[in-house]
Structure 1
Amino acid sequence: MSSDAFNSTTALLRMNPELYTVWNYRRNIMTQTMFPASEPAEVNDALTEDLSLTFTLLKQHPKVYVIWNHRRWCLENVPDGPTEDDPQGWKMANWKKELFVVEKMLDADARNFHAWNYRRYILANMANAPPPSTELAYTTRKIEANFSNFSAWHQRSKVLNTLWEEGKLDEKTSKQSEFELVQNAMYTDPDDQSVWIYHAWLIGTGEDASLLHREIASIQELLDEQPDSKWCMESLVRYKRLLLRKHRPSLSVVEGEQLLQDCSALLAKLAETDRLRRQRYLDILQELQRPSS
């Protein structure tokens, strides 16, 4: 529990920042030896230095969990206290800075899910956080820059749920806009799974028959243009099966039989074209052909 040991942890972590035992030892030295003997300003300075250390390490190792975890620990232990720049204290000044830091990290790698998780943590815990509408606009920019950004789509779903639950966004109108956005992404790159996963989430927020019929027709148009698109075929099977499960009473016998035939044909083709998942498709096909009880 000495300053020499603390300096040794710095040297070790610069060589290998994944040594979580060393991070734990470093925190023990700080909380058991350094902090009790220090003024609040000195504690803040020590934590600020560690934030700088983790930022340097993250630039080289942006996907190491324990570095992000230590950064959270630093923020949570910043003492209250005034500064010339921020009369409300060191704590608020540090939290404000973190949002800027994580945006820089996402500028470097917009699909770094560690940075996105950390961003959610910052927004959830900082005082005077930007409103969810601002975060929605941020995800729009990231998605428009690269549709193949699953983390941005995931963040968007979180923000939309918040806005809908708080009544700050009209659910019906905004969902229509979301379907238009995701449809543009589908046509841009029909092989990108991020888009299809987000589309499935959108469907899951409604699942009414008219919506399913509309989206099935839209995906069928894309499949006609891209006849070997695995994601088009998988999505058609998913949504047609959903129609059969959720809305069977509203379907005629002919419509129900046609949906079963369509699913069977699509699954047979998927089993041939996507050989790695062949048995999965055959299992679903067998389930479809099993007489209903």
Structure 2
Amino acid sequence: MHNRPRPPKGLPEDPKAVEAGRVRLQKLSRVCNEVLKRVAEDRVDEESLKLAAALLEQNPECYSVWNYRRRAFQAVLQGRDGSAAAREAADAELALTERCLRRNPKSYATWHHRRWIIQKGLTPLKHELQLLGQLLEVDSRNFMAWAYRRFIVALAGIPPRDEEQYAAGLIDANFSNYSAWHARTTLLHAVHSGPPVMSVSQLVAGDQAAGAGSEHNGSGQPSSAGASAELVPLAALRQEFELVHQACFTDPEDQSAWLNHRWLLARTFAHTQGPQTSAADEGSPAHQDLTEIFEQEVDMCNQLLEVEPDRTKCKWPLLTLARLQEMQQQLGLRAGSQGSTQQSAADIYRELMVVDPKRKGYYADALEGRAHVMAV
């Protein structure tokens, strides 16, 4: 779980809690051994299935036991007539996985089993969205729940615009919801009828080889692994910048919005790359839009720096301002000499070496021109 404090180091353990844990472990071990014995014997009876379910509720990561249940229910769930027996079995398995997920919301094996049941097409999908809403309320950055949501959304044919609004609602509730920001980046191309785009996670990782991967993740939606640097309309990017501004002014130290801001800058910068773009042509409408966007973002960073007297809390606006100045210089979007622009960015990197000493090496590389300003 995120934002869950760890107990202090050196804190003595409660003897009663230790003993209770030992007894619980012994009991679980006995049940596990018995279930695995029955699995090896391929015993498929009501008692064995109940015992397996009890074990999974205590330890949902028993892959072998989930495999055993799939073998046990495969025949009845394959019924093409949608028989009552098949629906009853599917509902029972979904109920079991839900209990397991509430105990361990990040159980790979449980999510896989639930997806297997849903793919049989025997149950409505409305409850899946309700369950996901509850789990994401507990942990908004549960990446397994987000992946499963993309699967359900594709299966249910929910419009990308609706998912974009869902992500916006989560962001409004918590600007630090990095997963919701990421979800919006993966939806922009679909909402605005464009091709796949690079995800925030790829941008941060600097994974330039991602474009060689598959374009889909098996869930019916484009995969971030197959993302490319195709264009997102500037009008759409302007709207996203406005949303990010709200988050940046609310909490300038929160990195979630700033990482998304960097992604938006990369998508804006992409309008100057390739033969199909016109933003690099001075005097063109696209060039004017690009100039306005970069000037707007520079102003935003300067406003944040003016209202925050403590420079140690200004890492993100400082770093973003330096990158913006370098991008403006590279694209010839800023008046004045090249040397003066570069010097301003250099001064910022020197200040960042003091403000954020843990990343002093990165800022030193940026100062020497060895760090990428922006990946597109």
Alignment partners' CA distance in 2, 1:16 and 1:69: 15
Partner of 1:60: 103
Aligned equivalent of 1:285: 367
Q: Which moved more, 1:45-54 or 1:18-27?
A: 18-27
Whole-Å Cα distance in 1 between the matches of residues 133 and 162 of structure 2? 13
**CA separation in 2, counterparts of 1:244 and 1:151?**
32
1:222 aligns with 2:252: no
Secondary structure of 2:268's aligned partner: coil
Partner residue in 2 for 1:159: 187
Coordinate RMSD, CA, aligned: 2.7
Query: CA separation of 1:36/1:66 partners in 2, compared to 1, >3 Å: closer, same or farther?
Result: closer
How many aligned positions are there?
268
**Aligned equivalents of 1:191, 1:162: Cα separation in 2:** 31
> Is contact 1:106-1:112 (8 Å) kept?
yes
1:242 aligns with one of 318, 321, 327: 327
Separation in 2 of the partners of 1:202 and 1:35? 46
Q: C-alpha distance in 1, partners of 2:153/2:338?
A: 47
The AA in structure 1 aligned to 2:181 is W
Distance 2:249 2:69 in 1: 51
Structure 1 position 37, deviation (Å): 9.2
Q: Residues of 2 paired with 1:63 and 1:244: CA distance?
A: 45
For residue 158 of structure 1, report the CA deviation from its aligned partner: 2.2
Deviations 1:25-62, CA, capped at 9 Å, x for gaps: 3222322x655799833222112111111111111211
User: Cα distance, 1:191 vs. partner?
Assistant: 0.7
Partners of 2:363 and 2:148 in 1: how far apart?
37
Sequence identity percentage: 33
Pairing 1:75–2:118 present: yes
Asked whether the 8 Å contact 1:18–1:67 carries over to 2, the reply is yes
TM-score by length of 2: 0.64
Partner of 1:186: 248
| Shift, 1:184, TM fit | 1.3
Residue 231 of structure 1 pairs with residue 316 of structure 2: yes
**Structure 1, gaps ≥5 residues long:** 79-89
Q: Give 1 or 2: higher helix fraction.
A: 1
What is the Cα deviation at residue 171 of structure 1? 4.3
- Residues 136, 145 of structure 2: 8 Å contact kept: yes
Q: Secondary structure at the match of 1:99?
A: helix
Match of 1:121 among 151, 154, 164: 151
Paired amino acid for 2:168 = T
C-alpha distance in structure 1 between counterparts of 2:71 and 2:356, whole Å: 52
